[in-house]
Structure 1
């Protein structure tokens, strides 16, 4: 079962920020697509398996940013 979830992330200001977050999240098991948007402060993650919010948060932290919420 695939899923797509959008998260709110603080600290992104440019394309480099988007790339850093996308790279970390793409490394998670099952992730098929990542779309980071510095303008809106969101990251949309598509996955072929259920996403673990703790793993997503850890990947965003590793990239140097803060995941502040999961959007409906």
Structure 2
């Protein structure tokens, strides 16, 4: 499972946007978003660069852990 620190997420819409964007590339991906901690956990076939790019495309920033 990969973990990303993401800034800018604040609500249920953010959770859905990030989850749907990742699952658009990998339908079988398991995505868990922890809004309070600002973390996105992804289990699937995508590499870190792909996940970071799609999160960025949704308007959120992946910050170094």
Which structure 2 segments of 5+ residues have no match? none
The number of aligned residues is 65
Indicate the larger mover: 21-30 or 52-61: 21-30
Quick check: 1:10–1:41 contact (8 Å CA) kept in 2? yes
- TM-score, normalising length: structure 1: 0.77
- For residues 1-72 of structure 1, the aligned pairs below 5 Å read 4-29=1-26, 31-47=28-44, 49=45, 51-69=46-64
Rg bigger for which structure?
1
Query: Which portions of structure 1, spanning 4 or more consecutive aligned residues, are displaced by more than 3 angstroms?
Result: none
Q: Normalising by the residue count of structure 2, what TM-score does the alignment of the two structures yield?
A: 0.84
RMSD (CA atoms) = 1.7
Q: CA deviation at 1:69?
A: 3.0
Structure 1 or 2: larger helix share?
A: 2
Stretches of structure 1 lacking an aligned partner (at least 5 in a row)? none
